[in-house]
Chains A and B, each alone.
Chain A
Amino acid sequence: MTGSRIDSGGLIDRAKPLGFSFDGRAYSGYSGDTLASALLANGVRVMGRSFKYHRPRGVWGAWFDDPNAIFGIRLADDEFPNCPATTTQLVDGMQARAVNAWPSAKFDIKAGLDLFHRWLGAGFYYKTFMWPGWGLFEPAIRRMAGLGHLDLNTVAGYVSDQLHDSCDFLVIGGGAAGLTAARAMAEAGQDIVLIDDHPELGGGLYRRGLAIEGETPQVWIASQHKAIRQAGGRIMTSTTGFGIFDHNLVGLAEDRGFSRAPRLHRMRASRIVMATGALDRPITFANNDRPGIMSVEAATEYLGRYGVLVGRHIALVSNNSFAGQAAAQLRAAGAEVTGCDATQGPIRALGGKHLSGVEVGGKRYGCDTILASGGLTPIVHLWRHAGGKLNWRDDLAAFVPGNPMEGMIAIGAANGTFDMDEALAEARSVVKSGGASVRGDHYSITPIWPKPGAKGRQWIDFQHDVTLKDVEQAARENFVSVEHLKRYTTLGMASDQGKTSNMAGLVAMASIQGKSIPETGTTTFRPPFVPVPLELYRGQNRGHTRNPLKRLPLEAVHRAAGAAMGEYGGWLRPGWYGEKSAEDAIRAECAMARKAAGIFDSSPLGKIEVMGPDAEAFVNFIYYNTIRTLKPGAIRYGFMLTERGIVYDDGVISRLGPQRFVISCSSSHVDGVNANLEAWRQDGNDPDRLFVHDTTANWATVTVTGPKAREIVAELGTDLDFSPDNFPHMTFRETVFLGAPARIARVSFTGDASYEISVPVASVETLWKTLIAAGGSLGAGPVGLEALSVLRAEKGYLIIGKDTDGETMPHDLGFGIPRLKKQAEYVGDRSLYSEVAQLETRRQFVGLAVPERAGPLPTGAHLVDTRDGRTVSIGIVTSSYDSPCLGKPIALALMECGQERMGEQVTVLHLGETRMAQVTSPCFLDPAGERLNA
Chain B
Amino acid sequence: MQLFPCPFCGLRDEREFHFAGEVGKTRPKTSEPVSDADWNTYLNTQRNEKGAAREIWCHVTCQEYFVMERDTVSMDVLETVALRKEPS
Contact = CB atoms under 8 A, between A and B. Distances in A.
A687 interface: yes
Interface stretch (A34-42, A654-662, A678-686): A678-686
Contact of B64 (A266, A682, A684, A688): A682
Interface in A254-308: 266, 268
B31 A824 contact: yes
A835 B39 CA distance: 12
A684 B74 CA distance: 30
Interface string A241-252: 000011101000
A831 B60 CA distance: 28
B85 to A, nearest CB: 8
B64 A247 contact: no
A830 interface: yes
Contact of B56 (A643, A683, A823, A830): A683
Given A246-B1, A249-B1, A682 B83 contact: yes
Contacts of B56: 683
Interface in B27-41: 27-31, 34, 36, 39
A825 B65 contact: no
A644 interface: yes
A250 to B, nearest CB: 10
Contacts of B34: 830
A643 B41 CA distance: 12
A42 B36 CA distance: 77
Interface residues of B, number: 28
A694 to B, nearest CB: 10
Interface string A816-839: 000000011110011100110000
B65 A683 contact: yes
B3 interface: yes
Contact of B1 (A266, A679, A829): A266
A788 to B, nearest CB: 31
Interface string A561-587: 000000000000000000000000000
A201 to B, nearest CB: 28
Contacts of A823: 31
B23 to A, nearest CB: 10
B1 A683 contact: no
Nearest to B3: A247
Contacts of A687: 84
Contacts of A826: 30
Given A643-B43, A825-B31, A830-B34, A246 B2 contact: yes
A688 B83 CA distance: 12
B3 A644 contact: no
Contacts, number: 55
A682 B65 contact: yes
A247 B58 CA distance: 20
Contacts of A245: 1
B1 A830 contact: no
B29 A825 contact: yes
Contact of A683 (B2, B20, B30, B43): B20
Interface in B59-79: 60, 63-65, 74-75
Interface in A12-56: none
Contact of A830 (B28, B60, B83, B84): B28
Contacts of B74: 387
A690 to B, nearest CB: 12
B39 A834 contact: yes
Given A246-B2, A246-B75, A644-B43, A679 B36 contact: no
B31 A835 contact: no
Given A644-B43, A824-B31, A825-B30, A682 B84 contact: yes
A684 to B, nearest CB: 7
Contacts of A249: 1
B87 to A, nearest CB: 8
A835 B87 CA distance: 44
B64 A831 contact: no
A831 B1 contact: no
A247 B75 contact: yes
Contacts of B43: 643-644, 831
A227 B84 CA distance: 52
Contacts of B75: 246-247
A678 B63 contact: yes
Contact of A829 (B30, B58, B84): B30
Given A247-B3, A644-B43, A679 B31 contact: no
A824 B30 CA distance: 9
Contacts of B63: 675, 678
B2 A679 contact: no
Given A245-B1, A675-B63, A682-B83, 20 more contacts: A246-B2, A247-B1, A643-B43, A644-B43, A678-B58, A678-B63, A679-B20, A679-B65, A683-B20, A683-B21, A683-B65, A824-B31, A825-B29, A825-B30, A825-B31, A826-B30, A829-B30, A830-B34, A831-B39, A831-B43
Interface of A: 245-247, 249, 266, 268, 387, 643-644, 675, 678-679, 682-684, 687-688, 823-826, 829-831, 834-835
In the A-B complex, the 7 residue pairs with the smallest Cβ-Cβ separation, listed nearest first, are A682-B65, A246-B2, A825-B30, A249-B1, A830-B39, A830-B30, A246-B75
18 contacts: A246-B2, A249-B1, A266-B1, A643-B43, A675-B63, A678-B65, A679-B65, A682-B64, A682-B65, A682-B84, A683-B56, A684-B27, A688-B84, A829-B30, A830-B34, A831-B39, A831-B43, A834-B36
